[in-house]
Amino acid sequence: MLIIAHRGASAYAQENTLQAFDLAFKFGASWLETDIQRSTDGVLVLYHDYNLKNGKRIKDCNYNYLKKFNIPTLTDLLKITPQNFTLNLEIKNDDDIYPGIEKQILAEIKETKNIKKEQILISSFSVEALQKIRALDKQINIAILTRNFEIKTPLSLKARSVNISVKRVNKNIVDTCHKNGLKVLVYTVNDLQTYHKLKRWGVDGVFSDNPMLDLPLFFALGGTK
Using only C-alpha atoms, the chain has a radius of gyration, in whole angstroms, of: 17
Whether the CA torsion 75, 146, 208, 181 is positive or negative: it is negative
Residues 86 and 31: beta-carbon distance below 8 Å: yes
| Choice among 1, 3, 4, 6 that is catalytic | 6
The enclosing H or E element of 66 equals helix 63-66
Spatial CA neighbour of 106 closest among 76, 77, 141: 141
Q: Is 6 in the active site?
A: yes
Spatial CA neighbour of 158 closest among 178, 189, 195, 130: 130
Residues 161 and 130: beta-carbon distance below 8 Å: no
Q: Is 48 in the active site?
A: yes
| Choice among 14, 48, 112, 157 that is catalytic | 48
Angle formed by the axes of helices 127-136 and 101-111, nearest 10°: 50
Residues labelled catalytic: 6, 48
